[in-house]
Chain A
């Protein structure tokens, strides 16, 4: 049979999608022969360039809906020639969309005849090769904005690295808006008057804390304890064994002096203290050393030696305070009860959930700590010797130096030159130093050498060169040119990507000497940076946002349905996710193991929740998920993910399905149509309770709904064994057994989390591509666009040789076109 265009015109594409299978098979046979014929000369079995046969494939499977008349989803392929893919700039974005749909087998939609796997893979590979070849010749790195404000986390880390000072940025600065799922997107990070004021105020506080201010007046820091924290055992690794409840907090004491810790116990809902019929001991420790033990409750003897039961209901924590001397700098403040033996046999304590009404009113329960106030400094004795002072004061003027004289100025110049270089991430100019010295003298006037440095530091911290990341265009570039960014800009991109912070001296030195791009240097730096503790920022900021872990602090499971969801469990879930991600990245596993890993971390509270036996104590330890716990392997079994993708009172297979589509498969669904009524809830009256799945039958019954829900819902149903707070269950809300069976959009049957994971990883590059795109968005600070697709494909391809390890992906990103280069500005 001879294939020529006439023949294809005669093949009508019916709207019902039926076609003559005979013709199709024959076409395929001939296509195969033709392909082989082309391939023989090169010794490869597959052709590498898009051909007329690919055009035929598209016509057969796509044009029936995606033509100018029907215009399904607003897309028409009519009149386009896939042979020219990559060559017509205006069409590339469209072809990339096609490629994505074909790669994930999302198109043709369920119910239509699909090409074979070989046809899919072949067509996509050829299209990608064509586009990538053009991209190699004329790369498009996109254009990061020239100015990119540091977000709150980056500000705190920059202060930490600049001054060896830990600050709580959440109290100093407002939260940042996010875009594309991350809060480090340049375009979204705007500046408001309120933020400016906060920067000015933060600069004052940070510089005062870093240098130490002997004239500091006392103030009060309040540390509240979550009222839903169950304080019946050791609650932190920073508290001693044998302690009960309380809190441990790392706090930077501003100066040498005296401080007061005042303790408030938690109260019932009507304001009374608890559990004071017996005596309890509260220990206050600094850096583990016992400062004082306070006693609350219990009987008191009167003048005749008779026991007198005082009414402690409101006053037992009056005057419960400790005054002590502390040196300036970071210290661990710990306040906790001493655990006492439980009540004698025969008397059972009622077990309440902390969220329950009964708990809120019961005075007889053991007391817990409500909040701790740290007041001071009083009787200041000096600035002290703190890490930040050691880092800042790289020299000291001679003792007899004149105030503001040449000796002091010389030392100030030294200090400020080093400070400015690291703060501004570039070589320091004379103008910078002149400006900072002016402020040194201003501060020196009313104080001493140290206050002079403090003032200059304050000025540094509000400078635009500190608060913003700059990327400069070289002279003469326009929107048609692309250029390689400078070494110092690359150094900053690397450090903000991997550490969410400023570059360190080693990076700055390499950049200044122009050596960052020497062969092997970049790779070595990436390796060094990933091994550094600062790389924990990727877990916190990338992982925390991609996996919605930050929302774990904000979710509010319904206290009636999930009475046992206390702050202990909430914290444990968050910590598990942190430790899991951290171990995956630090141990440089394949990113695929995020989904399949049999390792996780639990403490007693979480282990009880998951049904893991024989785990005791508050600290986390690594466990292997085997046997009955197999369904918990990987991300899909993590309590954190399962809870943030649920509603307060029940699971939502749709929310979970949507999350998986967006964040694992990289194919987000379109928004719902307007006026969709709410799903009937189980207590809507009159009807027997049903499982969530049963109530979602309407998604399948209604064809308008089905087109999207057929793709989303099965993903969520497969996870229905995990309830809205991630507990394993075999009975649904409706009392029927959980039905976790379904069929994915590409026809793969699934039943439960294990098979879902396998199905999601059937084409592992899809998952790796999604992770790469997320990492690239996070690393670039801009959304990933269609023209980044060749770079993403290169990264994924190269990482395949290294099992898709984290280091391979990250190094690939660091080497990639969008990371190393930039497009010129629009005129």
Chain B
């Protein structure tokens, strides 16, 4: 492996960085020691799956049970393990120097390493899926977030608008940046994938935060003056919330202590994938749900009763669309196995799932615009009415 490394920032290692470095070295030391003693090194990690998820309404998010998965060194796993050690070396070097990379870049970095060292040729990744799974494997073993390993995904979603919010970002070089969202004009503020570095402050009154499933609709609301008329924060989720959105909403909940409402489609996919992940995290990220879920988020709609109340245009689930059918099937599974939907506290949400399964109909968030087609503020009015009258779950 190349010995020359360059750092982009003169930097101080954070507490988290030190923990990761120590933990990794301990792990390597133990593996080497086992090998010296002719013992099989064994890596164990928390099992991140629904059958190891526990939901306690007092905690508010999915937490891991006691099940562990382990990988023992043998002829079948020797390739995976040597690849993991190889990739770990690259990641630790990044932490040491403060470099960050995307998964795709890591794939090419590993390719480059192999190119310069013929002995490593056997480790060469055939495609990015292979290197991605090794990165994930390392994070599982070290029980850390990918972002903690300085590996960032493309920032997606989380575009935030507010007239009263000020964000302070701690930068890798130890300095700070202060962003007043009211000064950004029509541009949104976009949180990074590691929102732990952000501190939030309200410079005026903030009554609530609205998370909108569709980024476009969030943009429309703001363009029509939503944040000017209401003391609020509007966040566009852009589909299934990324780590950035999840961590960001959690930050809003914890640091500003304002009510948060989620406004999205009425369908099984939104309820089960988007909203559940935002509120209680996911089974795949059991170990980091504590930082990446906002249990106080309420489901504002579209609610089943809204269809009748506002005479919204809904339509039947397309039985030929494999994705929609899969979502319904998953919803059925969720009602039976997902501890979040099985919990009494979330009865209102599971009832919505029941309604979706039984009626096989869906209604989109944009249907609010059909209520009074000549009034561009109609959606806004309905949202505010629902919030003030408490029409949410």
Same complex origin of A and B: no
- Residues of A at under 8 Å CB distance from B? none
- Residues of B at under 8 Å CB distance from A? none
